[in-house]
Amino acid sequence: MRAEIIRIGNSKGLRIPKAVLEQCGMKRAVDLRVEDHSLIVTPYEEVREGWDKCFQLMAKNKDDTLLDISSLSNSWDEDEWQW
C-alpha cells in the first residue's frame, strides 16, 4: 500500500487508514524503530499491562504472601550493605 508523507507543522506524518490501524491493533500510541533503512511501526504495549488483574487473581487465590527475605540474601547483602 502506498502512503503519502504529509506536512504537520514543522514535522512530517503518514496518514494511515483506520482499517489498517484496527487490523494491526494500533490505538493511541505506537513504537517506532528503524531497521535496514525501513521504518517499523508496532502497537505500543504498556510494560506492566495486565499486572493489576494478575495481582487481583493472586489475592483471590491467597498467593500474595510476602517472601521470606532471609532466604534471598547474598554475599553483597552480607558484605556491602549497611543494615
What whole-number distance in Å separates Cα of residue 5 and Cα of residue 18? 16
17-40 mean pLDDT: 93
Q: Give the pLDDT score at 27.
A: 86
CATH number at residue 15: 2.10.260.10
Domain that holds residue 12: 1-64
Q: Give the pLDDT score at 76.
A: 82
Residue with cell 491467597: 62
Three-class secondary structure of residue 77 per DSSP: helix
Q: Give the pLDDT score at 25.
A: 87
Number of domains in the chain: 1
pTM: 0.51
3-state helix, strand, coil in the chain (%, to 5): 30, 25, 45
